[in-house]
Chain A
Amino acid sequence: MKTIINRILNSEFLTFNEVLRLKVAIVTIFLFIFVLLSIPLSNFNSFNLDINIIVPVIFALLLIFTLLFMIFNLNRLAMHFSIYTIIGLTIFYVVGSDHFYGYILFFVTLTVIIFYQDIITYLLYGGAITVYGVIYIIQNGDSIVGINSTGLEMSSLTYQIILIGFYITFLIQFIISDSIYEKMNNEWVRMNKVLEKYQDFSLEYLKEISESNEQELLYKNFKFQQTISELSIFINEFFEDKGENIAEYVEFYFFLHDQDINDIINDKEVSAFTRKNAIEFQKYLMNERSELISILFNFSTLFKGDSEYNEKRYEYNLDKLFSNKIDKLLSLAIFYKYLKTEITQYDKWGKIERVLTHEEVTELFVSKEFREFISFEQVNFYLDNQEIFEKYL
């Protein structure tokens, strides 16, 4: 329970799969409560004793399946089973009794489905349970009419409108969230790739520094390899009796640094086991811009860049950065000069030695992607005067 609470409190740091697992765990706890409640409530329903025993047992079995799927990390399947359980419970409650609390379960079921935040699941299961709810009210509305109601028709209409309203409102909420988050996530993924490009360049410079200083590469250093081996064995001893089993993996990890890893991965003659390990280790190689290198660079940035925030800190569009026309033109000239004179590209040998040519800069300026940096007006001005840009900058 303490783990679940901790995970809820820190759920913004969990991956999508971990969050889904957490949600299934929470729903399962609630379903367990509803299954337990079905025992005392069986006194109020119209089912016979056999059904009142068999149905809760089936629900308990469904819950066990849900838990099993969670244990085997089949979280989506577990999610579907938890939804089947709550739908089953709702039908059991509303069909077996003519009590108002049974009707509340329609809302509980929709809440559970909403909780999973999957639009297809919501449209499918949520839509189905709403339709069922409406049909139930049309057919059995008279069983939940309050004594203060003015009549069956208005009572039934109120129930239907509120249930449909509840469904539609959350559908709208879904659509808003989906569009907002998809846009944000799209930008995040794109920026992640841009960051990787910066890190590619940083790593290339580091390699060149190392080469020019004739330094031994760290992953070739015996002491470093020994440190990694010893630390790995130390951790592994907490998981296995023979902690040293991991040593062979450490050796393989460093061996991969001397090979073309893609050759190993694509070589059909190499065993599937070796190739699988190579794929897993590829993310953590030290001689290419791997995930390990990206994490390390990002970690380093925690200790850098302490300049203060201003509202244009993340603005890279010259048209938005400057309001004055002269400033817009002057900044365009600086921008052009930077691209044409600073070394920003790889040469044909993979070294960072090349500048962009005037033609390449022009091609970039007119490209769609560059609207992120300059406006149409600026491009048109540039095209009208490009010979001056080329000659004097």
Chain B
Amino acid sequence: MKQETHKYQFPQLEIYKESLELTHLKRKTIIFNSLVFVLAGIVLYFLIQLGSNGETVITTMLMFIILFLVNIAFYSYEQDHYNNLKIAMYISTLGVYIIAISLILRFQTPSMFTSLFLTYAITSIYQDYKAMILSNSALFISGTLLILRFPSIFEIVGNAESQTFFILVFLIVFVILLSLSSYILIKRKTFFYNQLAQIKESEIRNMELLLEIEKIKTNKTLDSKEYYNSLKIFSKELSKKIGIENVFERKIELLKDLKKLEMSDILAKYTEYTLKEIDEIKYMELEIQKKMTMIGIKASKSQGIEVSRKEIFSESQFKSFKHFGDTQYVKIISFVVFYTLLKLDKPYLFELEEEKVKDVLLNSEYFYRIDRNIINIYLDNNDVFDTIVNDHMKGVR
């Protein structure tokens, strides 16, 4: 059975993750360029010390300058900033390799060959999948070609034994280790972006769930009419106090109309406002929109929350049915209770069909919250689970 881990991921996550990543990408672009700047300085020092001719110095420095210009251009163009910075990142990754290779070919020494590793380190600042693939491929291809096509680079004074084969083996092992390492590290980065994006979305959904349950309990919803009436009196008194014209009233009218009228009618009636302004005012509307309610819920529940240092990166923060140190019995019982609850009708969630339960447990993050052996037993025998629940729970809720 093929697993699609992201099948049940919230659809809103991707765009938010992009905005989170953009903030960090800007910072990483600056740091990358600063490092390349330092590298350029060191290269210039070496070229001067070695008494290289003017042409070599100018061409090498020109390559660095072009790289900086490309980065500045893409950084400055803010429209579609995320994709622009990504393009700058790919160009920069390849660019520094080109500079390193040109230096290796120019000097043809084993010490200069190791600049490929330094180049790899600089590009790793980005921690990006595609940049990682580019960087690893560039390191592997250029390293291999240099070893095979220019073995004289690795000839050492006073040592006639051939080392080419072992250098190649070491390079291959090194590149594989680097690739695996960066793959997992980038996955961890994705993990943090995912966790944060997911909890942001989960917060909204939990607030909606709370509102839904509250409505079942109290059989009441927010009285928007009363809110607008109070606002009207409040704004009148406020305007009087601060000695201005009542500029609020028209907006309160608009808020009331937002529920009743189509957007075209709103635009025709409130010609003083643009669509963009109305879109913003809409956040204050209380019947269809839930923004102000959400802010109210969040604010009323957010006091007194403190995070201690030991809670950060703590395993206990991850809610699961497979806590380290728990006995196998506890892992089994907790999963079984969870599974059975999914199969029952609840005020906030209808009972789920067996196929649905199995599909979600297999194709979502919940797969990883259950002990691997236990979830495998369930997936292989889910019809037995279903039969047991149906036999006993018939008629209960």
In this complex, what residue of A is CB-closest to B195? Answer: A188
Apart from A224-B392, A327-B280, what 17 extra A-B contacts exist at CB < 8 Å? A15-B318, A108-B174, A111-B177, A117-B188, A143-B158, A147-B152, A149-B109, A186-B312, A189-B311, A190-B307, A227-B340, A231-B336, A277-B327, A295-B321, A300-B349, A305-B10, A309-B11
| B residues in contact with A184, CB < 8 Å | 192-193, 195-196
| A residues in contact with B349, CB < 8 Å | 299-300, 303
A232-B332, A367-B303 given; A314·B393 CB < 8 A:
no
B338 at the interface (CB under 8 A from A): yes
Pick the contact of B110: A100, A277, A306, A330 (CB < 8 A): A100
B170 x A104 contact (CB < 8 A):
yes
| B residues in contact with A295, CB < 8 Å | 319-321, 338, 366, 369
The 9 residue pairs across chains A and B that have the minimum distance between CB atoms: A338-B296, A301-B205, A344-B300, A158-B111, A146-B109, A13-B368, A305-B205, A12-B191, A392-B234
Pick the contact of A335: B108, B181, B295, B332 (CB < 8 A): B295
Pick the contact of A108: B31, B177, B204 (CB < 8 A): B177
A68 at the interface (CB under 8 A from B): no
Question: How many of A's residues come within 8 Å of B, CB to CB?
Answer: 163
| Complex CA distance for A169 and B42, rounded to whole angstroms | 14
A177-B189, A199-B206, A239-B328 given; A100·B234 CB < 8 A:
no
| Complex CA distance for A313 and B291, rounded to whole angstroms | 9
| B residues in contact with A235, CB < 8 Å | 332, 335-336, 374, 377-378
A148-B152, A345-B300 given; A388·B234 CB < 8 A:
yes
| Complex CA distance for A37 and B170, rounded to whole angstroms | 9
B177 x A189 contact (CB < 8 A):
no
| Complex CA distance for A176 and B127, rounded to whole angstroms | 11
| Complex CA distance for A25 and B301, rounded to whole angstroms | 44
| A residues in contact with B346, CB < 8 Å | 300
A100 x B154 contact (CB < 8 A):
yes
In this complex, what residue of A is CB-closest to B51? Answer: A150
A296 x B333 contact (CB < 8 A):
no
- What are the interface flags for A175-188 relative to B under an 8 Å C-beta threshold, 1 for contact and 0 otherwise? 01100111011111
User: For window 6-26 of chain B, which residues contact chain A by CB distance below 8 Å?
Assistant: 8, 10-12, 15-16, 19, 24
A176 x B28 contact (CB < 8 A):
yes
Main secondary structure of the interface of A (DSSP, over half): helix
User: For window 333-381 of chain B, which residues contact chain A by CB distance below 8 Å?
Assistant: 333-342, 344, 346-349, 360, 364-369, 373-374, 377-378, 381
| A residues in contact with B212, CB < 8 Å | 304
| B residues in contact with A57, CB < 8 Å | none
A11-B184, A161-B42 given; A333·B231 CB < 8 A:
yes
| Complex CA distance for A365 and B329, rounded to whole angstroms | 48
- Smallest CB separation, A10 vs chain B (Å): 6
B295 x A316 contact (CB < 8 A):
yes
In this complex, what residue of B is CB-closest to A195? Answer: B206
- What are the interface flags for B154-165 relative to A under an 8 Å C-beta threshold, 1 for contact and 0 otherwise? 111111010100
| Complex CA distance for A305 and B204, rounded to whole angstroms | 8
B225 at the interface (CB under 8 A from A): no
B324 at the interface (CB under 8 A from A): yes
- Smallest CB separation, A179 vs chain B (Å): 10
Pick the contact of B299: A294, A299, A335, A393 (CB < 8 A): A335
Pick the contact of A301: B209, B235, B297 (CB < 8 A): B209
B167 x A339 contact (CB < 8 A):
no
A261 at the interface (CB under 8 A from B): no
| B residues in contact with A162, CB < 8 Å | 111, 114-115, 117-118
Pick the contact of A19: B122, B184, B303 (CB < 8 A): B184
A-B contact pairs, 19 of them (CB 8 A): A144-B110, A172-B31, A182-B313, A194-B298, A195-B203, A198-B207, A198-B209, A202-B213, A228-B333, A235-B374, A284-B330, A299-B349, A300-B346, A301-B208, A303-B349, A316-B299, A344-B301, A373-B298, A393-B230
A197-B301, A198-B297 given; A246·B329 CB < 8 A:
yes
A186 x B307 contact (CB < 8 A):
yes
Pick the contact of A176: B31, B202, B231, B284 (CB < 8 A): B31
B340 x A224 contact (CB < 8 A):
yes
In this complex, what residue of B is CB-closest to A245? Answer: B329
A114 x B192 contact (CB < 8 A):
no
Main secondary structure of the interface of B (DSSP, over half): helix
Segment at the interface with B among A47-55, A77-85, A122-130, A204-212: A204-212
A33 at the interface (CB under 8 A from B): yes
| Complex CA distance for A277 and B5, rounded to whole angstroms | 33
| Complex CA distance for A367 and B110, rounded to whole angstroms | 62
Pick the contact of B301: A17, A201, A221 (CB < 8 A): A201
Segment at the interface with A among B72-80, B82-90, B214-222, B260-268: B214-222
Pick the contact of A12: B50, B153, B194, B397 (CB < 8 A): B194
Pick the contact of A344: B12, B189, B213, B297 (CB < 8 A): B297
- Smallest CB separation, A101 vs chain B (Å): 5
User: For window 124-175 of chain A, which residues contact chain B by CB distance below 8 Å?
Assistant: 142-150, 154-156, 158-159, 161-163, 165-166, 169-170, 172-173
| B residues in contact with A335, CB < 8 Å | 292, 295-296, 299
| Complex CA distance for A11 and B186, rounded to whole angstroms | 10
Interface centre among A159, A195, A227, A249 (most CB of B within 10 A): A227
| Complex CA distance for A228 and B333, rounded to whole angstroms | 7
| A residues in contact with B374, CB < 8 Å | 235
| Complex CA distance for A246 and B218, rounded to whole angstroms | 41
| Complex CA distance for A190 and B19, rounded to whole angstroms | 20
A284-B337, A344-B297 given; A101·B170 CB < 8 A:
yes
| Complex CA distance for A201 and B212, rounded to whole angstroms | 12
| A residues in contact with B314, CB < 8 Å | 189
- Smallest CB separation, B363 vs chain A (Å): 11
B63 at the interface (CB under 8 A from A): no
B37 at the interface (CB under 8 A from A): no
